[in-house]
Amino acid sequence: MPDDLGLLLYLPHRELENRVFAALAEAGFDDVTPAQARVFHRIGRDGSRLTELAEAARVTKQTAGFLVDQLERAGYVERGPDPTDARARLIRVAERGRRAIPVGVAAIAEVQREWTAHLGRSRMVALLDALARLREITDPDR
């Protein structure tokens, strides 16, 4: 039986996610859930509206609001006025969130180094290229 594409994509993703959350917990950011991270990860540089986050994370506006509320209480995000629309609010990364980001980035870099050592540089480059090319047809937000 041929390898299952879904499983082959899922297992490395799960390992990477587990490693990131372990690094975050070790650094004192042990109160973030995968669902919260899914929303947090999609906050734009200048902030994002709740509806944008919900759409990007593929969750309902209510779910996104609940997750943002949790992130806000934990100090990872903050809500503020939208300078382009007085009626709207923007969600921005707060100080605690800015401190957590480099921890996750470092964990991802470590995993990538390990995988490169295992696969070899040319295979890792090919893997990243193939995934980037697949993103062109699978990421509607691209």
pLDDT digits (tens, 9 = 90+) for 28-47: 999 999 999 999 999 999 99
- pLDDT tens across 111-137, in order? 999 999 999 999 999 999 999 999 999
**Has residue 2 got a pLDDT over 70?**
no
pLDDT for position 118: 98
81 vs 37: CA distance, rounded Å: 23
Encode 63-91: b = buried (16+ Cβ within 10 Å), e = exposed.
ebbebbebbeebebbbeeebeeeeeeebb
Mapping DSSP onto H, E and C, the string for 64-123 reads HHHHHHHHHHCCCEEEEEECCEEEEEEEEECHHHHHHHHHHHHHHHHHHHHHHHHHCHHH
pTM of the predicted model, to two decimals? 0.88
pLDDT at 109: 98
pLDDT digits (tens, 9 = 90+) for 63-99: 999 999 999 999 999 999 988 888 889 999 999 999 9
- Per the CB < 8 A criterion, the answer to whether 34 and 57 are in contact is no
Position 139 scores a pLDDT of 83
> Across the strands, what pairs with 89?
81
pLDDT at residue 1, rounded to an integer:
47
Q: Which domains does the chain have, with CATH numbers?
A: 1-30+95-142 (no CATH), 31-93 (1.10.10.10)
